Amino acid sequence: MRCFQITQLIISSSPQVVKYIQIQSNLNKYNQNNINTLVEIEFRPCQIGEVILQQSSSIQICQFCSDGTYSLMDPSQEICKKCPDSAKKCIGNQIDLYNGYWRNNNQTDEIVQCDSIIGSCIAENYQNGNKICKQGYLGPLCEECDMDYAQDSNNQSVRYVTSIYSKQCNQCSISYLQYIFLLLQICAVLAYLIYNSLKFIDNSLVIQTQQYLRNMKILPISKPPSSSYLHFFPLKQIQYLKFQDLQARQLLSAQCVQFL
């Protein structure tokens, strides 16, 4: 079996067409007749990451988008797009984003800036450029928590929920501690409110008592309510004074009736 090699042969045509070439050979040493070989050549269509470049009136070629440019659309466009400022690198159909930016998938160039406070868009940490969100985050702009159980770096099943203090996603075990701490804070606030309410009631009682003593002229209270005299009159003594005043009024009324 004999083989032959053809060098310095360039075949040009438009993409997605079929061409035929005929190879003639006159190997008279082995055969008196010429050998004609028909070769079928099928030109592939341009792929994503390439653009169609018109080389001549009848010939088009698939031009690959070089470093710093990209193409994600139908290759019928005639120019590669410039790499956006939000991307670290572009070539062919590949766009590698900087951290802090998000896109829905690797077939779109609609890029949106993420919330820098959350810090869940970390496209630079992944080499393939497809995964963008930090572990525990998903959805648009990587702002949703992964509620389904997933494997962490230690191959343990974890679940993430939204933190009660921020938009960040935490593991459930951490969130439970946050809820316990929040419950303690609520209890402390309620205790403070109850204490202030009781103190307000006590102050109201002081004011009423001083008003009563001033009206009865038992003590020379002429200033606004003060707690200086209250120490001499515990609550039971004040109640006793009220009871004595009531009896005095009843006795005075009875004497007036007898006099009449």
Give me the chain's average pLDDT, please.
75
According to the model, what pLDDT value does residue 111 have? 94
Do 108 and 163 share a structural domain? Answer: yes
Do 164 and 112 share a structural domain? Answer: yes
Q: CA 136, CA 114: separation in Å to the nearest integer?
A: 16
Do 186 and 137 share a structural domain? Answer: no
Structure tokens at 45: 């269509």
User: Does any domain span residue 109?
Assistant: yes
Do 205 and 159 share a structural domain? Answer: no
Contact yes or no for 87/97 (Cβ under 8 A):
yes
Do 185 and 152 share a structural domain? Answer: no
User: Does any domain span residue 138?
Assistant: yes
User: Does any domain span residue 260?
Assistant: no
pLDDT band at 248 (very low <50, low <70, confident <90, very high): low
Q: CA 79, CA 87: separation in Å to the nearest integer?
A: 19
Is residue 35 scored above 60 in pLDDT?
yes
DSSP 8-state class, residue 43: P
Do 156 and 186 share a structural domain? Answer: no
Most confident of 32-41, 55-64, 138-147: 138-147
Query: 142, 157, 173: which is the final residue of a domain?
Result: 173
User: Does any domain span residue 224?
Assistant: no
213 versus 54: the higher-pLDDT residue is 54
Q: Outline where DSSP puts E strands in 98-228.
A: 101-102, 112-113, 137-138, 144-145, 150-151, 157-158, 160-162, 169-171
Contact yes or no for 140/127 (Cβ under 8 A):
no
Q: How many domains does the chain have?
A: 2
When pLDDT is averaged across residues 24-52 and rounded to a whole number, the result is: 77
User: Does any domain span residue 121?
Assistant: yes
Do 129 and 186 share a structural domain? Answer: no
Is residue 147 scored above 70 in pLDDT?
yes
pLDDT band at 60 (very low <50, low <70, confident <90, very high): confident
Query: 151, 173, 195: which is the final residue of a domain?
Result: 173
Do 165 and 208 share a structural domain? Answer: no
User: Does any domain span residue 231?
Assistant: no
According to the model, what pLDDT value does residue 252 have? 45
Q: In terms of residue numbers, what domain contains 153?
A: 104-173
Query: 118, 145, 173: which is the final residue of a domain?
Result: 173
Do 156 and 197 share a structural domain? Answer: no
